[in-house]
Structure 1
Amino acid sequence: MTAFGPGRTPSPWSRAVVLTTVCLSVSYAGAPAFADGHDGRAPGRTVIGGAALGRPGVQVLPKSGSPELPQGLSALSWLVADARTGEVLASKNAHRPLPPASTLKTLFAVTVLPRFPQETLHTVTEEELAGVGAGSSKVGVQAGEEYTVADLWRGVFLSSGNDAVHVLARMNGSVPLTVSQMQAKAQMLGADDTEVVSPDGYDEPGQVSSAYDLALFARAGLATPYFAGYTSTATAMFPGGKDAKGKPAPPYQIQNTNRLLTGADGVGRYPGIIGVKNGYTTNAGNTLIAAAQHGDRTLIVTVMNPRSGVAMAVYKEAGALLEWGFEAAGVNGSVGTLNTGDRAVPASAPRRPADSAPAPLGTAATATQSTSEGGWAWSGAAGVLALAAGTVFARRRNLRSN
């Protein structure tokens, strides 16, 4: 049997992973797991999504005709799930807390994106750009310049701009308030592995998430207007502000840093890719949330900190897992589920009027290469996925979060 089923020619994604020399240990759901790590959870604690997801090592439930998992997967943690049903097809250390880097921006977006009409104009202040970590990835937001909310979100998603995140967080009230709201949102979604310290994913002591939680954030995001439109945008024009002489500068092109989306650096664009978000810091290593659609099925893959040393390993491993997932869906058994509904808002969670009544959504400005400016939504009990409008580690201030 090949990595992706009998008689199939291995794809570039499978070849890229199979050629690595890292061994893969597999434990089948319902059988003892090989202890290649731990999830850091307290003994006896209820495992969100199902008991198998709390076991260390790889969890998969193959049946007759199931494709084999890609060989050589080196990430400390990963997960493959169906976006519509929430079914988890396979995982490794799904609940292991790890620094998320900029993939945490998905939770930021799920929390803040509905709060402002996309056409809203905002003049940035020096205060709003204060506190952006040294070495952060930036899109080039300038104090004193006017931007639409859509401009800022393209800065967040394409350039992974921590400057744009801080502006939006200040617009939302303050950075601490936004962090509190993000934590409350994570709890509502059942993302119990996540501890939020910074809204942009910049390395901070105690800031962690997990492959499971990142999949929750992506799934919630795909049901949020505008989210998929931004995550699937490859390039866009960003306001130029002023040049070094203080004169108006022309807009400049920004490119998404997600190589599965752009195909840059020899990775190749993954067929049907929707996004979602990549990240990197020294502590987190490379992290990635990827979503793709083939036919009427959309899969979410999360990959945290590949250890193979292969160039662009996070993209190659994610691509291989997506390819496997589309083969395994409908054949393999489920090893767990993504949480299917919001919990009640904790009584201690800070609330604003926008929590219960989000501001009306505007229309995002058109980007140069975008699959859509819409989002993904599930429609009632039928659960039909449709296109809608729409990083505990020591603190290092010389880190880049992108």
Structure 2
Amino acid sequence: MAILTATKLHYDIVGSFLRPNAIKQARADFAAKKIDQEQLTAVEDEAIRDLVAKEIDAGLKIVTDGEFRRSYWHLDTFWGFSGIAHTYADHGYLFHDEETRNDSAQVVGKIAFDPEHNDLKAFKFLNELVQDQPGIIARQSIPSPAQFYAELVRGVENEEALHKYYPDHAELVHDIGQAYHDLILALYDAGCRDVKLDDCTWGMVVDSDFWQEMTNGEFDRDALQNIYLELNNAAIEDLPEDLRISTHICRGNYHSTWAAKGGYAPVASHLFAQEKVDAFYLEFDDERSGDFAPLAEVPAGTQVVLGLVTSKRPELEQKETLIKRINEATQYVPLENLSLSTQCGFASTEEGNQLTEQQQWDKIRLVVDTAQEVWGD
């Protein structure tokens, strides 16, 4: 049912939503030890119930919990694995105009799935809200295995810790793949039929300037792509046929700014042609994303979700412009295999992008309305 719903509908979302004030206040109170975990969870529960009702009211058929239980789109998942510690780096992530908080994840033992993983608990709550509503699918988004690897080698201290426990690369790939595979199967057993892998690694590797600065010119794009592809495919092999696996490729989304630029051409032969997913959710909201030509590498039958509506800026796009761009993309992917979405989530971290909740919902309704006009959904 998940695969049918996802491919029949031609409008979608990436998944994160602006945090309501109640959650922001509860998190601040929790950090100050004014409330306990149970009280924080109760506030999150109520906010998620309200969000899901708004998603359904907006016409969405695939819904998320807005990532309301997370601080980051990726690190919270990493911290949920055995063998990983919540650490702090010398610097945060460097974006175009800002530097993020400096949280990180570091290896402190062998990596494995923890049955008490926070993402599994989060999905179970979300699924309970919608499992009796016909035609509504609960999606769980998790950061990709490649993104996990990228964090474990971010900075000298992380690299040294990784090599202490994993001097053998093959063992590392196996353990990351197994941990993810076990998490995905646990989600499946809990009723999940739609898992999206969020992934900034490909969005960074296309940017030669970014990597020249990061590696002092010692940059082997093919070698990195081979590692990313190996990790991601290892995690998603031998999964149930009725489980839809997709991936969202991003160039950074923090407080309405970005981390990398460049079209998909440098990674198309690896990412599009060889990653074994059912759908690609792709940024195409401005010139940083390049043109549609690399989509020629997407295998026949694979879905491409065009992120043409930006989540970074409040200005509402013109429907006519969106339709024109969708038609341009049909030069490379048949219309029936295309869909429309926002380019990213609205709050990849709890800081959120610089727009209002009303502007957020206006963007989503534009996506739905445009798709209904193009595809007749």
Tell me the TM-score normalized by structure 2: 0.29
Tell me the TM-score normalized by structure 1: 0.28
Structure with higher helix content: 2
**Larger relative contact order (Cα-Cα within 8 Å, sequence gap ≥ 6):** 1
